[in-house]
Structure 1
Amino acid sequence: MRTINPEQAKSKTPNSRDYFFDNVKFILIVLVVLGHGYRPLIDESPIIKSVYLTIYTFHMPLMILISGYFAKSFNKEGQSKKVIATILIPYIIFQILYSLYDHFVYETDAINFSILEPYWIMWFMFSLFLWRLILPYFVNLKYPLVTSFALAILIGYVDDADQFMSLSRTVAFFPFFLTGFYLQRHHFEKLFSSWMRFLSGIGILALVPMFFYLDFHTSIDLNFRKWLYFVFPYEDVGYPEWYAGGIRLAMIALAFLASIFVLALTPRRKTFFSKIGSRSLYVYLLHGFFIKAYDAMDLDDKFPGPVLYISVTLASIALAFLLGSRWVQQISHPLLQPKVHWFFRKKTESRKLDNVPG
Structure 2
Amino acid sequence: MSQHAVTARAREPAAPSSPAPSQQRDAFFDNAKYAAIVLVAMGHAWEPLRDGSRTVSAVYMLLYTFHMPAFIVVSGYFSRGFDGRPERLKRLVGGLVVPYVVFETAYTLFTRWTDQEPDRPISLLDPLYLTWFLVALFLWRLTTPLWQRVRLPVPLALGVAMLATLSPSIGNDLDLQRALQFLPYFVLGLSLRPEHFRMVRRRAVRIVAVPVFAGAFAVAYWAVPRMTGAWFYHRDSAAELGAPEWYGVLMTPVLFVCSLLLVACFLSWVPGRRMWCTVLGAGTLYGYLLHGFLAQGAKYGGWYDPAWIHRPLGAVVVTLVAATAVTLLCTPPVRRLLRFVVEPDLRWLFRREAPERPGTGPSHEADRPVRAR
Counterpart selection for 1:16 from 7, 24, 28: 24
Q: How does 1:256-335 map to 2 (within 5 A)?
A: 256-303=260-307, 304-335=310-341
Counterpart selection for 1:229 from 220, 230, 233: 233
The change in CA–CA distance for 1:107 and 1:72 in structure 2 (over 3 A counts) is closer
Q: 1:236: how far off?
A: 1.6
Q: How does 1:102-113 map to 2 (within 5 A)?
A: 102-106=111-115, 108-113=117-122
Question: Which digits, 9 at most, give the CA deviation of each residue in 1:206-253, with x for residues without a partner?
Answer: 32222112324xxxx321x11100111101222124243112211111
Checking the alignment, whether the CA contact within 8 Å between 1:138 and 1:144 is kept in structure 2 is yes
Q: For 2:322 and 2:334, how far apart are their aligned partners in 1?
A: 16
Q: 1:349: how far off?
A: 11
Match of 1:238 in 2: 242
TM-score, normalised on structure 2?
0.85
The change in CA–CA distance for 1:97 and 1:182 in structure 2 (over 3 A counts) is same
Checking the alignment, whether the CA contact within 8 Å between 1:51 and 1:208 is kept in structure 2 is yes
Checking the alignment, whether the CA contact within 8 Å between 2:201 and 2:268 is kept in structure 1 is yes
The change in CA–CA distance for 1:16 and 1:140 in structure 2 (over 3 A counts) is closer
Question: Which digits, 9 at most, give the CA deviation of each residue in 1:290-324, with x for residues without a partner?
Answer: 11110102443433322321221110011021111
Checking the alignment, whether the CA contact within 8 Å between 1:33 and 1:316 is kept in structure 2 is yes
The root-mean-square deviation of aligned C-alpha atoms, in Å, is 2.1
Q: 1:146: how far off?
A: 1.8
After superposing the two structures, state which structure 1 stretch, 271-280 or 61-70, moved more.
Answer: 271-280
Q: 1:341: how far off?
A: 1.2
The change in CA–CA distance for 1:160 and 1:213 in structure 2 (over 3 A counts) is same
SS at match of 1:342: coil
Q: For 1:302 and 1:174, how far apart are their aligned partners in 2?
A: 40
The residue identity in structure 1 corresponding to 2:69 is P
SS at match of 2:119: coil
Q: For 2:346 and 2:22, how far apart are their aligned partners in 1?
A: 30
Residue 52 in structure 1 maps to residue 57 in structure 2: no
Q: For 2:172 and 2:63, how far apart are their aligned partners in 1?
A: 22
The change in CA–CA distance for 1:244 and 1:76 in structure 2 (over 3 A counts) is closer
Residue 252 in structure 1 maps to residue 252 in structure 2: no
Q: 1:271: how far off?
A: 1.1
Q: For 2:135 and 2:116, how far apart are their aligned partners in 1?
A: 26
Q: For 1:66 and 1:200, how far apart are their aligned partners in 2?
A: 19
Q: 1:101: how far off?
A: 1.2
Residue 158 in structure 1 maps to residue 167 in structure 2: yes
Match of 1:40 in 2: 48
Q: For 1:99 and 1:138, how far apart are their aligned partners in 2?
A: 34
Q: For 1:340 and 1:299, how far apart are their aligned partners in 2?
A: 39
Question: Which digits, 9 at most, give the CA deviation of each residue in 1:17-69, with x for residues without a partner?
Answer: 21000111011000000000001111131111111111100011110110000
Q: For 1:142 and 1:194, how far apart are their aligned partners in 2?
A: 33
Q: For 2:109 and 2:304, how far apart are their aligned partners in 1?
A: 25
Checking the alignment, whether the CA contact within 8 Å between 1:158 and 1:233 is kept in structure 2 is yes
Match of 2:157 in 1: 148
Residue 338 in structure 1 maps to residue 347 in structure 2: no
Match of 2:136 in 1: 127
Checking the alignment, whether the CA contact within 8 Å between 1:162 and 1:169 is kept in structure 2 is no
Percent identical residues: 28
SS at match of 1:132: helix
Match of 1:70 in 2: 78
The residue identity in structure 2 corresponding to 1:222 is M
Checking the alignment, whether the CA contact within 8 Å between 2:108 and 2:128 is kept in structure 1 is yes
After superposing the two structures, state which structure 1 stretch, 53-62 or 105-114, moved more.
Answer: 105-114
Structure 2, unaligned stretches of length 5 or more? 1-20, 357-373
Question: Which digits, 9 at most, give the CA deviation of each residue in 1:64-83, with x for residues without a partner?
Answer: 11000001111274111111
After superposing the two structures, state which structure 1 stretch, 243-252 or 258-267, moved more.
Answer: 243-252
After superposing the two structures, state which structure 1 stretch, 200-209 or 189-198, moved more.
Answer: 200-209
TM-score, normalised on structure 1?
0.88
Question: Which digits, 9 at most, give the CA deviation of each residue in 1:137-179, with x for residues without a partner?
Answer: 3333333222111010110000122422111111111111011
Checking the alignment, whether the CA contact within 8 Å between 1:25 and 1:280 is kept in structure 2 is yes
The change in CA–CA distance for 1:185 and 1:160 in structure 2 (over 3 A counts) is same
Checking the alignment, whether the CA contact within 8 Å between 1:300 and 1:308 is kept in structure 2 is no
The change in CA–CA distance for 1:75 and 1:107 in structure 2 (over 3 A counts) is closer
Question: Which digits, 9 at most, give the CA deviation of each residue in 1:259-316, with x for residues without a partner?
Answer: 0101111111011111112211110011011111101024434333223212211100
After superposing the two structures, state which structure 1 stretch, 86-95 or 304-313, moved more.
Answer: 304-313
